[in-house]
Each structure stands twice: as C-alpha cells, then as structure tokens.
Amino acid sequence: MEENNNAEQPQELNAWEKYKLENNQPSTNVEAVAQENNVEASVSEVPESSDAITTADLSASSSDTVQAVGSIENGVIGVAETPRPVKKAVNDSPTKSKKTVAIYSTKNVSWSSVGKVYRGYNIVTPEQAEKWLTRSHVRLATPEEVAKEFGN
C-alpha cells in the first residue's frame, strides 16, 4: 500500500518544497544535519537590505573641470582633468540674407575659379551664376521649377 505523504505536510509550502514534492526529491532536515555536525542551525528569512547597488551619477557636474584623455605624468596618456569647454552662445539675430540664384545643369562640372555644379538644380551666388550661364549645359531655373523640385 502506498502511503499518502501529502497528508502529513503542512498546508503552506514554499516554492522549493513544492518543487521537491512534485519531483520526489529527498528533503534535507536542517536540524538533524546540524546536530550531526555540531553546528547551530537556524533558518530565517533574509531581511530586505537598503544597500542597493547604484551607478555613478552621469548628470553634468557643476565643477569647472571634466575628465578627458590627456597627458598625465612623464608624457603618459591617461585620464586627466581639463577645463570644461565653454559653449558658444547661439546668435538668434537674423542674419543678412545672401542673394542666391537657382540654375539647372545637365552635367556634373567643376570649374576651378567658380565652383561645382551637379546635374539638376543648384543654388549659387549671382556672380557664380553669371559665369555658369556662359556654359551650354547650364540654364537659369524659374522659381516654379525650383518649388516643384524641392516640394514647396
């Protein structure tokens, strides 16, 4: 006759005890093993620790120096403290709009004293446009063509 071991087990079982019962694993009697080895046995839950693992604070520090690769001692390359780079203020004032002209070229051409044009529409200065228009493969582009090409 098969004995029912589950009747003798307590109602509440932790996950490990459930695993052992389901897989017919032998259980270890901690108190008996401790008495055999002359060790004081105590089983208790580990209290939650407030010693959490944290990472370094990666936010920008307020110091005037930052770490960067540089020379340290005897010309050896390593991490050195360097002054924090100063950010340039962005000038929000409107800049003078430069006059530009749209031209259309049927070829990719480079002209050493003028510049480069690529096949299609090119935006150039009026001085460059005067020179490019002397070439047979370049013509002046209308504002409608440019708007159509660039989707405006």
What single letter denotes the amino acid at residue 52? A
pLDDT of residue 4: 53
Give the SS3 label for residue 19: helix
Specify the pTM.
0.39
The percent helix, strand, coil of the chain (3-state, each to 5) is 20, 20, 55
What pLDDT is stored for residue 1 in this prediction? 47
pLDDT at res. 34: 74
Element (DSSP H or E) covering residue 111? strand 109-111
Q: Domains in the chain, ordered, with CATH?
A: 101-150 (3.40.5)
Percentage of the chain exceeding pLDDT 70: 76
Where the chain has pLDDT below 50, the residues are: 1, 9
